[in-house]
Structure 1
Amino acid sequence: MKKKQIGFELSIFETSDELSKDEKKLLETAEAARYDAYAPYSNFQVGAALLLENGQIIIGNNQENASYPSGLCAERVAVFQAGARYPGVAIVSIAISAASKEHLLEVPAAPCGNCRQSIIEYEQRQKSPITLIMRAEKGPIYSCTSVADILPLAFGSSFLGDS
Protein backbone atom coordinates (compact mmCIF):
# COMPACT_ATOMS: atom_id res chain seq x y z
CA MET A 1 0.00 0.00 0.00
CA LYS A 2 1.09 3.54 -0.76
CA LYS A 3 -0.17 6.73 0.79
CA LYS A 4 -0.12 10.14 -0.81
CA GLN A 5 -0.89 13.48 0.82
CA ILE A 6 -2.98 15.82 -1.33
CA GLY A 7 -3.11 19.48 -0.37
CA PHE A 8 -3.07 23.01 -1.66
CA GLU A 9 -1.94 26.49 -0.78
CA LEU A 10 -4.58 28.88 0.56
CA SER A 11 -3.87 32.60 0.72
CA ILE A 12 -5.52 34.35 3.66
CA PHE A 13 -5.98 38.12 3.62
CA GLU A 14 -7.05 40.07 6.69
CA THR A 15 -8.71 42.87 4.68
CA SER A 16 -9.70 43.57 1.09
CA ASP A 17 -7.01 46.28 0.98
CA GLU A 18 -4.49 43.45 0.55
CA LEU A 19 -6.13 42.36 -2.71
CA SER A 20 -5.35 43.73 -6.16
CA LYS A 21 -7.64 46.47 -7.44
CA ASP A 22 -9.41 44.00 -9.78
CA GLU A 23 -9.85 41.35 -7.05
CA LYS A 24 -11.24 43.94 -4.65
CA LYS A 25 -13.74 45.17 -7.27
CA LEU A 26 -14.79 41.60 -8.06
CA LEU A 27 -15.36 40.83 -4.37
CA GLU A 28 -17.39 44.02 -3.92
CA THR A 29 -19.49 43.05 -6.95
CA ALA A 30 -20.12 39.60 -5.45
CA GLU A 31 -21.16 41.21 -2.18
CA ALA A 32 -23.61 43.52 -3.97
CA ALA A 33 -25.06 40.52 -5.85
CA ARG A 34 -25.50 38.72 -2.52
CA TYR A 35 -28.00 41.33 -1.33
CA ASP A 36 -30.34 40.42 -4.20
CA ALA A 37 -30.26 36.67 -3.50
CA TYR A 38 -33.62 34.97 -3.17
CA ALA A 39 -33.16 32.86 -0.04
CA PRO A 40 -36.45 32.89 1.93
CA TYR A 41 -36.04 29.30 3.15
CA SER A 42 -32.42 29.03 4.25
CA ASN A 43 -31.80 32.73 4.96
CA PHE A 44 -28.31 32.03 3.61
CA GLN A 45 -27.46 34.55 0.91
CA VAL A 46 -24.62 34.07 -1.56
CA GLY A 47 -23.38 36.34 -4.31
CA ALA A 48 -20.85 35.48 -6.98
CA ALA A 49 -19.01 37.58 -9.54
CA LEU A 50 -16.90 36.20 -12.40
CA LEU A 51 -14.18 38.02 -14.24
CA LEU A 52 -13.91 36.85 -17.85
CA GLU A 53 -10.76 37.15 -19.93
CA ASN A 54 -12.52 39.76 -22.11
CA GLY A 55 -12.92 42.01 -19.03
CA GLN A 56 -16.65 41.37 -18.56
CA ILE A 57 -17.95 40.76 -15.05
CA ILE A 58 -20.89 38.36 -14.69
CA ILE A 59 -22.88 38.10 -11.46
CA GLY A 60 -25.04 35.45 -9.87
CA ASN A 61 -26.83 34.92 -6.58
CA ASN A 62 -28.58 31.96 -5.04
CA GLN A 63 -32.16 31.39 -6.12
CA GLU A 64 -34.13 29.11 -3.80
CA ASN A 65 -37.37 27.30 -4.42
CA ALA A 66 -39.82 25.63 -2.03
CA SER A 67 -38.90 22.42 -3.85
CA TYR A 68 -35.27 22.59 -2.66
CA PRO A 69 -33.62 20.67 -5.51
CA SER A 70 -35.08 23.18 -7.95
CA GLY A 71 -33.02 26.09 -6.60
CA LEU A 72 -29.62 27.09 -7.87
CA CYS A 73 -26.46 28.33 -6.14
CA ALA A 74 -24.91 31.71 -6.90
CA GLU A 75 -21.77 30.22 -8.40
CA ARG A 76 -23.66 28.10 -10.93
CA VAL A 77 -25.99 30.98 -11.82
CA ALA A 78 -22.92 33.08 -12.68
CA VAL A 79 -20.96 30.31 -14.43
CA PHE A 80 -23.90 29.16 -16.55
CA GLN A 81 -24.78 32.76 -17.42
CA ALA A 82 -21.17 33.35 -18.55
CA GLY A 83 -21.28 30.18 -20.65
CA ALA A 84 -24.55 31.23 -22.27
CA ARG A 85 -23.65 34.87 -22.89
CA TYR A 86 -19.95 34.49 -23.70
CA PRO A 87 -19.35 30.94 -24.99
CA GLY A 88 -15.67 30.15 -25.37
CA VAL A 89 -14.50 33.10 -23.26
CA ALA A 90 -12.36 31.91 -20.35
CA ILE A 91 -13.26 32.61 -16.74
CA VAL A 92 -10.27 34.17 -14.99
CA SER A 93 -11.57 34.34 -11.42
CA ILE A 94 -14.67 34.05 -9.31
CA ALA A 95 -15.41 35.93 -6.10
CA ILE A 96 -17.95 34.55 -3.63
CA SER A 97 -19.60 36.43 -0.77
CA ALA A 98 -21.79 34.61 1.76
CA ALA A 99 -23.93 35.78 4.69
CA SER A 100 -26.65 34.42 6.93
CA LYS A 101 -29.66 36.37 8.15
CA GLU A 102 -29.66 34.16 11.27
CA HIS A 103 -26.09 34.44 12.52
CA LEU A 104 -22.84 36.27 11.74
CA LEU A 105 -20.53 34.41 9.36
CA GLU A 106 -16.86 34.95 10.12
CA VAL A 107 -15.37 32.23 7.89
CA PRO A 108 -15.73 32.20 4.09
CA ALA A 109 -18.05 29.58 2.60
CA ALA A 110 -16.45 27.62 -0.21
CA PRO A 111 -18.58 26.43 -3.15
CA CYS A 112 -20.71 23.33 -2.54
CA GLY A 113 -19.91 20.07 -4.31
CA ASN A 114 -22.28 20.70 -7.23
CA CYS A 115 -20.74 24.13 -7.81
CA ARG A 116 -17.20 22.79 -7.55
CA GLN A 117 -18.01 20.18 -10.19
CA SER A 118 -19.60 22.78 -12.48
CA ILE A 119 -16.69 25.21 -12.13
CA ILE A 120 -14.02 22.50 -12.57
CA GLU A 121 -15.58 21.48 -15.87
CA TYR A 122 -15.16 25.05 -17.16
CA GLU A 123 -11.60 25.09 -15.84
CA GLN A 124 -10.79 21.78 -17.56
CA ARG A 125 -12.43 22.85 -20.80
CA GLN A 126 -10.64 26.20 -20.97
CA LYS A 127 -7.32 24.58 -19.91
CA SER A 128 -6.53 27.43 -17.52
CA PRO A 129 -7.11 27.85 -13.78
CA ILE A 130 -9.95 29.83 -12.25
CA THR A 131 -8.88 31.73 -9.14
CA LEU A 132 -11.33 31.58 -6.22
CA ILE A 133 -11.76 34.51 -3.81
CA MET A 134 -14.09 33.90 -0.87
CA ARG A 135 -15.33 36.13 1.95
CA ALA A 136 -17.97 36.00 4.66
CA GLU A 137 -19.60 39.03 6.28
CA LYS A 138 -16.65 39.47 8.59
CA GLY A 139 -13.23 37.94 8.99
CA PRO A 140 -10.51 36.89 6.56
CA ILE A 141 -10.63 36.52 2.80
CA TYR A 142 -9.54 33.17 1.36
CA SER A 143 -8.07 32.74 -2.10
CA CYS A 144 -6.70 29.83 -4.06
CA THR A 145 -5.33 29.74 -7.58
CA SER A 146 -7.55 27.01 -9.00
CA VAL A 147 -10.85 25.32 -8.26
CA ALA A 148 -8.92 22.07 -8.70
CA ASP A 149 -7.24 22.95 -5.38
CA ILE A 150 -10.50 22.46 -3.51
CA LEU A 151 -11.64 19.53 -5.65
CA PRO A 152 -8.74 17.09 -5.85
CA LEU A 153 -9.30 13.95 -7.91
CA ALA A 154 -12.02 15.77 -9.85
CA PHE A 155 -14.29 13.88 -12.22
CA GLY A 156 -14.02 15.11 -15.78
CA SER A 157 -14.78 14.29 -19.39
CA SER A 158 -11.63 12.16 -19.63
CA PHE A 159 -13.46 9.48 -17.62
CA LEU A 160 -16.12 9.40 -20.34
CA GLY A 161 -13.57 8.84 -23.10
CA ASP A 162 -13.23 12.50 -24.09
CA SER A 163 -9.90 14.26 -23.82
Structure 2
Amino acid sequence: MQEVKLSSTIKVFDNFDELDGDDSSLMSLAIEVRDTAYAPYSTFKVGAAILLENGEIITGTNQENAAYPSGLCAERVAIFYAGAQYPGVAIKKIAITAAASDGSSTEPVSSCGACRQSIAEYEQKQKTPIEMLFMGETGKVIKTASLLDLLPLAFGADYLK
Protein backbone atom coordinates (compact mmCIF):
# COMPACT_ATOMS: atom_id res chain seq x y z
CA MET A 1 0.00 0.00 0.00
CA GLN A 2 1.16 3.50 -0.70
CA GLU A 3 -0.24 6.80 0.42
CA VAL A 4 -0.50 9.54 -2.18
CA LYS A 5 -1.08 13.15 -1.26
CA LEU A 6 -3.06 15.26 -3.72
CA SER A 7 -2.76 19.02 -3.68
CA SER A 8 -4.19 21.96 -5.57
CA THR A 9 -3.00 25.48 -6.09
CA ILE A 10 -5.47 28.34 -6.09
CA LYS A 11 -5.12 32.09 -6.20
CA VAL A 12 -7.19 34.09 -3.74
CA PHE A 13 -7.93 37.73 -4.47
CA ASP A 14 -9.22 39.88 -1.61
CA ASN A 15 -11.90 41.35 -3.83
CA PHE A 16 -13.13 41.80 -7.38
CA ASP A 17 -11.01 44.96 -7.86
CA GLU A 18 -7.78 42.91 -7.74
CA LEU A 19 -8.64 40.99 -10.92
CA ASP A 20 -6.82 41.83 -14.15
CA GLY A 21 -8.58 43.04 -17.32
CA ASP A 22 -9.82 39.77 -18.87
CA ASP A 23 -10.77 38.21 -15.55
CA SER A 24 -12.44 41.42 -14.38
CA SER A 25 -14.45 41.75 -17.60
CA LEU A 26 -15.60 38.14 -17.50
CA MET A 27 -16.60 38.32 -13.83
CA SER A 28 -18.42 41.60 -14.50
CA LEU A 29 -20.58 39.82 -17.08
CA ALA A 30 -21.27 36.96 -14.67
CA ILE A 31 -22.34 39.50 -12.04
CA GLU A 32 -24.53 41.31 -14.56
CA VAL A 33 -26.41 38.19 -15.67
CA ARG A 34 -26.67 36.78 -12.13
CA ASP A 35 -29.61 39.08 -11.44
CA THR A 36 -31.56 37.57 -14.36
CA ALA A 37 -31.45 34.06 -12.85
CA TYR A 38 -34.76 32.30 -12.45
CA ALA A 39 -34.54 31.23 -8.81
CA PRO A 40 -38.00 31.68 -7.25
CA TYR A 41 -37.64 28.66 -4.93
CA SER A 42 -34.13 28.94 -3.51
CA THR A 43 -33.72 32.69 -4.15
CA PHE A 44 -30.04 31.81 -4.66
CA LYS A 45 -29.03 33.43 -7.94
CA VAL A 46 -25.98 32.29 -9.88
CA GLY A 47 -24.39 33.83 -12.97
CA ALA A 48 -21.70 32.35 -15.20
CA ALA A 49 -19.70 33.76 -18.09
CA ILE A 50 -17.50 31.65 -20.37
CA LEU A 51 -14.69 32.94 -22.59
CA LEU A 52 -14.12 30.82 -25.70
CA GLU A 53 -10.81 30.68 -27.55
CA ASN A 54 -12.40 32.51 -30.50
CA GLY A 55 -13.20 35.48 -28.25
CA GLU A 56 -16.92 34.77 -27.95
CA ILE A 57 -18.42 35.09 -24.49
CA ILE A 58 -21.36 32.94 -23.41
CA THR A 59 -23.38 33.65 -20.28
CA GLY A 60 -25.78 31.54 -18.26
CA THR A 61 -27.86 31.69 -15.10
CA ASN A 62 -29.41 29.06 -12.89
CA GLN A 63 -32.89 28.06 -14.00
CA GLU A 64 -35.07 26.50 -11.30
CA ASN A 65 -38.25 24.52 -11.67
CA ALA A 66 -40.97 23.52 -9.20
CA ALA A 67 -39.93 19.93 -9.96
CA TYR A 68 -36.47 20.56 -8.46
CA PRO A 69 -34.44 18.02 -10.43
CA SER A 70 -35.63 19.69 -13.64
CA GLY A 71 -33.66 22.88 -13.00
CA LEU A 72 -30.16 23.58 -14.24
CA CYS A 73 -27.15 25.39 -12.79
CA ALA A 74 -25.70 28.50 -14.43
CA GLU A 75 -22.43 26.79 -15.33
CA ARG A 76 -24.16 23.99 -17.22
CA VAL A 77 -26.56 26.37 -18.95
CA ALA A 78 -23.55 28.28 -20.31
CA ILE A 79 -21.26 25.36 -21.06
CA PHE A 80 -23.95 23.33 -22.85
CA TYR A 81 -24.91 26.36 -24.93
CA ALA A 82 -21.24 26.90 -25.83
CA GLY A 83 -20.92 23.23 -26.81
CA ALA A 84 -24.07 23.37 -28.94
CA GLN A 85 -23.41 26.68 -30.68
CA TYR A 86 -19.60 26.52 -30.94
CA PRO A 87 -18.66 22.84 -31.25
CA GLY A 88 -14.93 22.31 -31.36
CA VAL A 89 -14.12 25.77 -29.96
CA ALA A 90 -12.15 25.46 -26.73
CA ILE A 91 -13.29 27.07 -23.50
CA LYS A 92 -10.55 29.22 -22.00
CA LYS A 93 -12.14 30.27 -18.71
CA ILE A 94 -15.34 30.49 -16.76
CA ALA A 95 -16.36 33.05 -14.13
CA ILE A 96 -19.06 32.20 -11.59
CA THR A 97 -20.78 34.35 -8.97
CA ALA A 98 -23.60 33.55 -6.57
CA ALA A 99 -25.85 35.70 -4.37
CA ALA A 100 -28.26 34.70 -1.63
CA SER A 101 -31.39 36.82 -1.30
CA ASP A 102 -30.32 38.01 2.16
CA GLY A 103 -26.99 39.41 0.89
CA SER A 104 -24.94 36.95 2.95
CA SER A 105 -22.91 35.53 0.05
CA THR A 106 -19.51 36.98 0.90
CA GLU A 107 -17.51 33.76 0.57
CA PRO A 108 -16.53 32.32 -2.82
CA VAL A 109 -19.10 29.80 -4.06
CA SER A 110 -17.64 27.03 -6.18
CA SER A 111 -19.44 24.81 -8.66
CA CYS A 112 -21.51 21.87 -7.47
CA GLY A 113 -20.41 18.32 -8.23
CA ALA A 114 -22.60 17.96 -11.34
CA CYS A 115 -21.18 21.18 -12.79
CA ARG A 116 -17.62 20.15 -11.95
CA GLN A 117 -18.15 16.88 -13.79
CA SER A 118 -19.61 18.66 -16.82
CA ILE A 119 -16.75 21.16 -16.95
CA ALA A 120 -14.25 18.29 -16.50
CA GLU A 121 -15.72 16.56 -19.55
CA TYR A 122 -15.14 19.65 -21.71
CA GLU A 123 -11.63 20.12 -20.31
CA GLN A 124 -10.77 16.49 -21.10
CA LYS A 125 -12.36 16.69 -24.55
CA GLN A 126 -10.46 19.82 -25.56
CA LYS A 127 -7.20 18.62 -23.92
CA THR A 128 -6.52 22.09 -22.47
CA PRO A 129 -7.28 23.41 -18.99
CA ILE A 130 -10.22 25.66 -18.26
CA GLU A 131 -9.41 28.47 -15.84
CA MET A 132 -12.09 29.01 -13.22
CA LEU A 133 -12.94 32.09 -11.20
CA PHE A 134 -15.60 32.12 -8.54
CA MET A 135 -16.95 34.43 -5.89
CA GLY A 136 -20.01 35.12 -3.78
CA GLU A 137 -21.95 38.33 -4.22
CA THR A 138 -19.02 40.27 -2.78
CA GLY A 139 -15.70 39.49 -1.14
CA LYS A 140 -12.86 37.22 -2.13
CA VAL A 141 -12.42 35.72 -5.57
CA ILE A 142 -10.76 32.35 -6.11
CA LYS A 143 -9.00 31.46 -9.35
CA THR A 144 -7.82 28.04 -10.44
CA ALA A 145 -5.75 27.18 -13.49
CA SER A 146 -7.86 24.12 -14.23
CA LEU A 147 -11.03 22.34 -13.18
CA LEU A 148 -8.72 19.57 -11.97
CA ASP A 149 -7.68 21.85 -9.10
CA LEU A 150 -11.24 21.36 -7.78
CA LEU A 151 -11.75 17.77 -8.93
CA PRO A 152 -8.31 16.11 -9.10
CA LEU A 153 -9.52 12.56 -9.75
CA ALA A 154 -12.13 13.46 -12.34
CA PHE A 155 -14.09 10.68 -14.02
CA GLY A 156 -13.88 10.79 -17.80
CA ALA A 157 -14.54 9.03 -21.07
CA ASP A 158 -11.27 7.05 -20.83
CA TYR A 159 -12.85 4.92 -18.09
CA LEU A 160 -15.61 3.84 -20.47
CA LYS A 161 -13.29 2.16 -23.00
TM (norm. structure 2) is 0.97
The alpha carbon displacement at 1:17 in A equals 2.9
2:121 corresponding residue in structure 1: 121
The alpha carbon displacement at 1:31 in A equals 0.5
Query: Which runs of structure 2 are paired with 1:85-96 in the superposition (5 Å)?
Result: 85-96=85-96
Distance in structure 1 (CA, Å) of the matches to 2:18 and 2:39 = 31
Q: Which AA in structure 2 matches 1:89?
A: V
Q: How many aligned positions are there?
A: 161
RMSD: 0.8
Query: Which shows bigger deviation, 72-81 or 101-110?
Result: 101-110
1:49 corresponding residue in structure 2: 49
The alpha carbon displacement at 1:103 in A equals 4.4
Query: Which runs of structure 2 are paired with 1:13-162 in the superposition (5 Å)?
Result: 13-161=13-161
The alpha carbon displacement at 1:139 in A equals 1.3
**Deviation digits for residues 105-145 of structure 1 (CA, Å, limit 9, x no counterpart):** 11111000000000000000000000000111121110000
Q: Are 2:15 and 2:138, in contact at CA under 8 Å, matched by a contact in 1?
A: no
The alpha carbon displacement at 1:96 in A equals 0.1
The alpha carbon displacement at 1:3 in A equals 1.1
The alpha carbon displacement at 1:15 in A equals 2.4
Distance in structure 1 (CA, Å) of the matches to 2:16 and 2:126 = 28
Extract unaligned runs of 5+ from structure 2: none
**Deviation digits for residues 47-81 of structure 1 (CA, Å, limit 9, x no counterpart):** 00000000000000000000000000000000000
Query: Which shows bigger deviation, 136-145 or 71-80?
Result: 136-145
Distance in structure 1 (CA, Å) of the matches to 2:12 and 2:154 = 24
The alpha carbon displacement at 1:153 in A equals 0.9
The alpha carbon displacement at 1:18 in A equals 2.1
Moved over 3 A (4+): none
